[in-house]
């Protein structure tokens, strides 16, 4: 089942000779349960694409549909609520709240929505990610890898339609990067979690089900990691 779709997605900055086409007519479709990498060099438009998919920035033209909902037809308040309920984010810099412990960070988005956390599901997530012994710790008491595990747990806790990961291993060493990618693959398979990951690393991208290559704001190639083309 298609869970995410873009049509003619464009994001332009400036005008005339200063015009920058960060995204220039992107059409993509992602199925429920897929683990997709969006790969490209710095400045290719991949992070801009992620921000559009997550409703963090508005396009110049085109649409993004999540679970059939055209998210940019929502007003700002509706979009904020929709994003909180349907889209999980994992960033390179973790973005954990420093004065909250790991458990409080994980359930924060759920509580902001006025809901009660599913404690059994939270327990399953933290055990899957191997941080069940760290729930009372503050972020600054954790290693980088442990902070990223906590960030992944927070993103998964609200059972989002899509998890968007923006260079999630960018601040980690190669061994920890492989561990985090392994955990993302595990959550993808165990929870049937749809994941879109931005990366500049072709090696990490090859661990995903499908790679979308983007250059100069356009998709230049898309296919399974076992494909020849």
pLDDT tens track for 102-161: 999 999 999 988 899 999 999 999 999 999 999 999 999 999 999 999 999 999 999 999
DSSP-based three-state secondary structure for 7: strand
Written as six digits, the tokens of 109 are 């988005």
Per-residue HEC secondary structure of 108-148 comes to HHHHHCCCCCCHHHHHHHHHHHCCCCCCCCCHHHCCHHHHH
Taking alpha carbons only, the member of 58, 98, 68, 66 closest to residue 83 is: 66
pLDDT mean over 153-173: 92
Q: Confidence class of residue 71 from pLDDT cuts 50, 70 and 90?
A: very high
The yes-or-no verdict on residue 226 having pLDDT over 80 is no
Predicted TM-score (pTM) of the model is: 0.90
pLDDT bucket at 96, cuts 50 / 70 / 90 = very high
* 129 CA to centre of own chain: 17
Task: Give SS3 for 199.
Answer: strand
Q: How far apart are the first and last CA of the chain?
A: 24
Relative to beta strand 218-224, strand 69-70 is unpaired
Q: What is the pLDDT of residue 16?
A: 87
- CA distances 12 to 57, 61, 77, 188, Å, are 12, 9, 24, 33
Nearest CA to 38 among 213, 221, 215, 228? 213
Q: Are 39 and 215 in contact (CB under 8 A)?
A: no
Mean pLDDT over each residue of the chain, to the nearest integer: 92
pLDDT at position 57 over 60: yes
Is 12 within 8 Å of 19 (Cβ atoms)? Answer: yes
What percent of the chain lies above the pLDDT cut of 90?
A: 78
């Amino acid at each position: 089942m298609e869970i995410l779709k873009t049509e003619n997605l464009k994001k332009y900055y400036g005008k005339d000779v200063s015009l920058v086409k960060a995204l220039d007519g992107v059409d993509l479709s992602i199925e429920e349960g897929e683990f997709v990498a969006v790969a490209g060099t710095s400045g290719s438009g991949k992070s801009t694409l992620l921000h559009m998919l997550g409703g963090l920035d508005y396009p110049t033209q085109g649409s993004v549909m999540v679970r059939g909902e055209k998210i940019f037809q929502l007003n700002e308040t509706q979009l904020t609520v929709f994003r909180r309920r349907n889209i999980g984010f994992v960033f390179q810099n973790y973005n954990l709240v420093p004065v909250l412990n790991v458990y409080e960070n994980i359930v924060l988005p759920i509580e902001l929505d006025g809901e009660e956390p599913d404690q059994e599901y939270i327990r399953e997530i933290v055990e899957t990610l191997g941080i069940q012994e760290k729930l009372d710790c503050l972020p600054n008491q954790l290693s980088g890898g442990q902070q990223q595990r906590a960030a992944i747990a927070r993103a998964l806790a609200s059972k989002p339609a899509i998890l968007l990961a923006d260079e999630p291993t960018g601040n980690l060493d190669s061994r920890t990067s492989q561990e985090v990618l392994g955990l993302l693959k595990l959550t993808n398979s165990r929870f049937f979690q749809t994941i879109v990951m931005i990366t500049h690393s072709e090696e990490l991208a090859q661990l995903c089900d499908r790679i979308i290559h983007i250059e100069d704001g356009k998709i230049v190639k898309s296919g399974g990691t076992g494909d020849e083309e």
